[in-house]
């Protein structure tokens, strides 16, 4: 039975496990199953409204990506196992997993926008924030959070959307999609220097979108206090001034101190605190409307613990008792 009253949605589909980039690849199915298992066993499950997502349509994919890119990804999946680049590979189940990942975020945005949910966590894979308009890269096939922002702006009529990306790797794809768009504010906290090499502080958007991109590159070794300080000093004031009507989080948990692909020293408590601050912002400017989507995180135990802390804070926020 679904919870009653203001509720946190949780979006998950077992078919997202069928995306298998290959033996030894860090973006492995166990990432998602570790999150799912932790939330089921950690006492949160009864507090969540859990759904399986729909597939995104090809027309929805083309609101961000070109038809050529969509066909290129489909063709690679048809020929699987297949490597798209040195980091990004697909299996026979990758096409459906990618459609479910994108569709899951669209589903969540629709439900939060309609007030069926107060907020939501979309636990899907493959991740998305490195995917550019015509390029799959960095483990990402389609840019899930960019598709969600376009869906909010177009189909749902939201005037101003904010995306905070706290994955340890800069979301070059999301920045690429919106760098000329003043209606979508993209802010990123990420380790610098690190893959993919973008996200310098001077990258602030282009043309009409200048000023609607905010990058706060962080050094290796930075801590919870460092990231929270940057969030409170630079990111939140900029987002407050933008007054978003809907908040999206690219929730990578790979800035954790145990993660093997980076060198930042965050903890699950750091993710909890950042979640609380974003919920406060969403409450002030967007009626609490906030949806997060899983991006990176490659140490299974720290990924699961961080996702649990994040989800616990979302549930508390939905109850109206956020920090």
Task: Give the global pTM.
Answer: 0.97
Active site annotation includes 130: yes
Instruction: Answer for the pair 61, 131: CB distance below 8 angstroms, yes or no.
Output: no
CA distance 260 to 271: 18
Buried b (16+ CB within 10 A) or exposed e, 148-176: bbbbbbeebebebbbbbbbbbbbbbbbbb
- Catalytic residue selected from 113, 130, 176, 256: 130
Residue 42 pLDDT:
86
Instruction: Answer for the pair 216, 132: CB distance below 8 angstroms, yes or no.
Output: no
Q: State which H helix or E strand residue 58 sits in.
A: helix 58-61
Residue 320 pLDDT:
83
Q: Is the pLDDT of residue 257 over 70?
A: yes
Find, among 204, 230, 13, 21, the residue nearest to 123 by Cα.
13
The structural domains of the chain, ordered by start, are: 8-318 (3.40.800.20)
pLDDT band at 4 (very low <50, low <70, confident <90, very high): low
Convert the pLDDT of each residue in 31-60 to its tens digit. Answer: 999 999 999 998 899 999 999 999 999 999
CA distance 283 to 306: 22
pLDDT band at 6 (very low <50, low <70, confident <90, very high): confident
What do you get for the CA distance between the two ends of the chain, in Å? Answer: 27
């Amino acid at each position: 039975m679904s919870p009653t009253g203001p509720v946190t949605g949780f979006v998950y589909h077992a078919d997202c496990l069928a995306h298998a980039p290959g033996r030894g690849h860090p973006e492995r199915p166990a990432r998602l199953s570790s999150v799912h298992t932790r939330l089921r066993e950690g006492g949160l499950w009864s507090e969540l409204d859990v759904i399986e997502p729909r597939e995104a349509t090809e027309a929805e994919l083309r609101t961000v990506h070109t038809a050529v890119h969509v066909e290129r990804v489909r063709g690679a999946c048809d020929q699987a196992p297949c490597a798209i680049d040195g980091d990004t590979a697909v299996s026979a189940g990758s096409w459906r997993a990618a459609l479910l990942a994108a569709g899951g975020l669209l589903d969540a945005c629709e439900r939060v926008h309609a007030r069926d949910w107060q907020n939501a966590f979309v636990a899907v894979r493959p991740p998305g924030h490195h995917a550019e308009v015509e390029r799959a890269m960095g483990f990402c096939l389609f840019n899930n959070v960019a598709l969600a922002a376009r869906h909010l702006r177009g189909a749902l009529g939201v005037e101003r959307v904010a995306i905070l990306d706290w994955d340890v790797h800069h979301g070059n794809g999301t920045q690429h999609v919106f760098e000329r768009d003043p209606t979508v504010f993209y802010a990123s906290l990420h380790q610098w220097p690190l893959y993919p090499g973008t996200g310098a502080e001077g990258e602030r958007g282009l043309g009409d979108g200048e000023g609607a991109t905010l990058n706060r590159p962080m050094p290796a070794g930075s801590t919870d206090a460092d990231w929270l300080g940057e969030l409170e000093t630079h990111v939140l004031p900029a987002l407050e001034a933008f007054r978003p009507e809907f908040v999206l989080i690219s929730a990578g948990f790979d800035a954790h101190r145990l993660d093997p692909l980076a060198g930042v020293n965050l903890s699950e408590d750091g993710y909890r605190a950042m979640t609380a601050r974003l919920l406060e912002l969403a409450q002030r400017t967007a009626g609490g409307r906030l949806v997060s989507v899983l991006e990176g995180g490659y140490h299974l135990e720290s990924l699961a613990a961080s996702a649990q802390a994040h989800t616990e804070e979302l549930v508390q926020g939905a109850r109206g008792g956020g920090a």
